[in-house]
Amino acid sequence: MTEFDRREFLTCCIVSWAATLAPQVGAAADTTASAPPALTAADWQRILRELFPHERVDASLYLPPAESLVAAGRKDAATARLLASVDRAAGVAAIAVSPAFPLLRQTMVFAFYGNPAIWNTFGYDGDAWQQGGYLARGLITIDWLPDPPQ
Amino acid sequence: MTARYAFGDSDVAVVIGSGAGGAVLAHELCARGRKVVLLEAGPQLSIADFRNDEFFAYQQLTWLDKRTATGDWPVARNSPNFPAYMVKALGGTTNHWGALAFRMQAHELTATQTYGRIAGADLADWPIPAAELDRYWTLAEARMGVTGTHGIPRLDFTNNYKVLHYGARRVGYQRIANDRHAINSRPRDGRAACLQLGFCGQGCKSGAKWSTLYTEIPAAEATGKLDLRTGSTALRIEHDPQGRASGVVFADSKGQHLQRAALVAVAGNAVETPRLLLNSASARFPRGLANGNDLVGRFFMKHVNASAWGLFEKPVRMNRGVTMGGTIYDEARHDPRRGFAGGYLLQATQVGVPFFTAVINPTGWGRGFTRFVDNFDHLSGIWLNGEDMPRADNRVTLHAAEKDGFGLPIPNVHVDEHPNDLAIRRHFRQQAAAVLRAAGASDVMEGATLPASHNMGTCRMSADPEAGVVNSHGQSHSVRNLFIADGSPFPTSSAQNPTLTIVALALRQAEYITRNL
């Protein structure tokens, strides 16, 4: 899959995931007050990095989910209201229990944790098939425990 | 070699669903010379289509049609539109199963005697003696190539199993093994050996895991008796004036058709199977086909599930090798001193970063969550597979308002957990954490209860026609040429993964059909 295919795929995947396995995204808060200016991708990048801090991950890798949120808000008015309900000043602990949190989280899951470019940082190997199975490449790497009887 | 039978051919047996039960039954009937039409709602895939990519495979394989969940089980909160996780593709859920193939224990088949009366539970005994099931389990193990049986060697153990085994011995467990995998450790029966890719749940690219996609289905086709129709969704079972099943209305890309039938076997997994019967209501069967006693859809079970993830100082690399690395059997006994009836298995398990972040902790954030992800290669997981209590009100029903693309009501799955289920989950959390810490874990994260993959019970089998939907052969008590061939007939769940028993029952059912119909 090319990177472009993968992005297309993940976008469509977010939709089906949101409709199925993910916790449901809450209805937008009914804000009758005049809406604050929409948060920028750079704002979301900072918020997501505070919510899901990974020191070893370059800040630029938080940009795809941030941009995905901005795009989702432009596409749909209800999503825009939901995102506008996020109060940056309240801090991440408040955002984590806000109605927008499930959307922020599932966007992180697909556009950040689902990004193969990040897996190596966490020690996740990803696709094994393209390199051959671990039977040939070394199945057992633990040398700090005794082997079980086989 | 695929046969083609006319829609009006009333000699055919129609089997609905191509997973463990449906494909084995179809193959067995074909091998005995019967004409079979196999309807599969999902697409035809091949091993070449599979990818070692959790999100891609989720999208590619999963039955994503909307369902709803109600009740007090965690799934109704975490995934209210996704109560059950199964596959919609040729080969059904055998494409993503973890391939653990256990026999039930004799005492688990007679719960009313072993466990006694349990308030709030509707226990029933299996109407098949253990000795007779043993015979079919033996056949099923040989057919599926289960390691540790019939002289089939075990798979090489994995890092994750090494952790499980060490921790288990240190807390005093005695019965730990990396066995009973329906995964080839050596080439066998036309299937390759396991390459230890670590993506059993995404379709086995080694072609080593038993999946009906590349075993039973091509074997059935080779008989020349199978008319395989993928992309074909069963909508309704019709009956004749005598109340016998006479055909199946199904939809494919060309429209809707009525396939006439001499007998109909439903193997749609224990959510879609009762839904199809309920959606087949008629003037004669106003509550749904085979549902005169209002038991279709009741007694839904799915095993008590949860997981635990240990964080280790040194690298584990749990993702290297089979998804389900091995099992601790000690807690699968019945010992009410632990505060619950029945038992559970602890199973070494692993997922990748995508699933770990998406579903294992579906609400996690902050450092308490991210430090587990940061140390992904230092994690080891244990999965809970516990017996759950059958309850009449835990049931699959038709949604009152929502309809699918064919205008048919979608299914709702309602589960209120029994106190026994909660006690098993609590006990597991304590024991799994103890095993992980004994192996050196500095911290343990609890994993959420996930949508059900071991769906059972919704067309209960019973000797007494008043007490269930089908007899011990999966034959409807009221519609004698209607059969159920999946996990729906299970009267109780036991602590054992269900697939081996689904296959055993399908083998027994095929013999019965050949003798009697």
Q: Is A142 part of any domain? A: no
Neighbours of A58 (CB within 10 A): 11
Mutate to test the interface with B, among A10, A57, A140, A150 (most CBs of B within 10 A): A140
Task: Output the pLDDT for position A16.
Answer: 53
Domain residue limits, chain B: 13-516
Question: Is B346 an interface residue toward A (CB < 8 Å)?
Answer: no
Q: Is A133 part of any domain? A: no
Cα–Cα distance between B30 and B231 in angstroms, integer?
A: 21
Question: Is B271 an interface residue toward A (CB < 8 Å)?
Answer: no
Arithmetic mean of pLDDT, B224-234: 98
DSSP classification of residue B402: E
Question: Is B70 an interface residue toward A (CB < 8 Å)?
Answer: no
Question: A30 CA to chain B: closest CA distance, Å?
Answer: 23
Closest residue, chain B, to A144 (C-alpha): B314
Task: Output the pLDDT for position A38.
Answer: 87
Residues of chain A in contact with residue B62, where contact means CB-CB under 8 angstroms, are 20
> Can you tell me which residue has the tokens 């349990």?
B118
Q: What length does chain B have?
A: 517
Q: Which residue among A52, A119, A140 sits closest to B370, beta carbon to beta carbon? A: A52
Contact A148 B157 (CB under 8 A): yes
Residues of chain B in contact with residue A51, where contact means CB-CB under 8 angstroms, are 365-366
How many separate domains does chain A show? 1
Q: Which residue among A96, A108, A145 sits closest to B162, beta carbon to beta carbon? A: A145
Arithmetic mean of pLDDT, B293-321: 98
| Banded model confidence at residue B2, pLDDT cuts 50, 70, 90 | confident
Q: Is A19 part of any domain? A: yes
Q: What length does chain A have?
A: 150
Task: Output the pLDDT for position B464.
Answer: 98
| Banded model confidence at residue A4, pLDDT cuts 50, 70, 90 | very low
Arithmetic mean of pLDDT, A44-68: 97
Residues of chain A in contact with residue B78, where contact means CB-CB under 8 angstroms, are 23
- Taking 80 as the threshold, does the pLDDT of residue A77 lie above it? yes
Cα–Cα distance between B318 and B348 in angstroms, integer?
A: 9
Arithmetic mean of pLDDT, B126-148: 98
**Cα–Cα–Cα angle for B241, B243, B246, rounded to 5 degrees:** 80
Q: Which CATH architecture has domain B13-516?
A: 3-Layer(bba) Sandwich (3.50)
Arithmetic mean of pLDDT, B328-351: 98
Cα–Cα distance between B78 and B363 in angstroms, integer?
A: 9
Task: Output the pLDDT for position A78.
Answer: 96
Task: Output the pLDDT for position A37.
Answer: 76
What are B43-87's pLDDT values in tens digits?
Answer: 999 999 999 999 999 999 999 999 999 999 999 999 999 999 999
Sign of CA dihedral B349, B354, B360, B365: positive
Task: Output the pLDDT for position A21.
Answer: 54
Question: A86 CA to chain B: closest CA distance, Å?
Answer: 16
Nearest to B201 by CA among B64, B320, B58: B58
Closest residue, chain B, to A7 (C-alpha): B56
Contact B365 A52 (CB under 8 A): yes
Question: A104 CA to chain B: closest CA distance, Å?
Answer: 11
Task: Output the pLDDT for position B408.
Answer: 98
DSSP reduced 3-state for B17: coil
Residue A17 lies in domain: 3-121
Strand partners, B342: none
Nearest to B203 by CA among B365, B81, B91: B91
Counting residues of chain B whose pLDDT is more than 70, the rounded percentage is: 100
Residue A127: what are its φ and ψ, rounded to 5°? Answer: -55, 125
Contact B320 A139 (CB under 8 A): yes
Task: Output the pLDDT for position B57.
Answer: 97
- For B274-309, b/e burial (b = at least 16 CB within 10 A) is bbbbbbbeeeebeebbbbbbebbbbbbbbbbbbbbb
| Banded model confidence at residue A126, pLDDT cuts 50, 70, 90 | very high
Closest residue, chain A, to B163 (C-alpha): A145
What are B391-415's pLDDT values in tens digits?
Answer: 999 999 999 999 999 999 999 999 9
Cα–Cα distance between B36 and B233 in angstroms, integer?
A: 16
Residues of chain A in contact with residue B319, where contact means CB-CB under 8 angstroms, are 124-125
* Strands of B409-414's sheet in order across: B68-70, B409-414, B395-403
Arithmetic mean of pLDDT, B351-357: 97
Nearest to A102 by CA among B81, B354, B365: B365
Mutate to test the interface with A, among B357, B435, B450 (most CBs of A within 10 A): B357
Arithmetic mean of pLDDT, B255-267: 98
- Taking 50 as the threshold, does the pLDDT of residue B147 lie above it? yes
Task: Output the pLDDT for position B208.
Answer: 98
- Taking 70 as the threshold, does the pLDDT of residue A23 lie above it? no
Contact B156 A135 (CB under 8 A): yes
DSSP reduced 3-state for B204: coil
pTM: 0.96
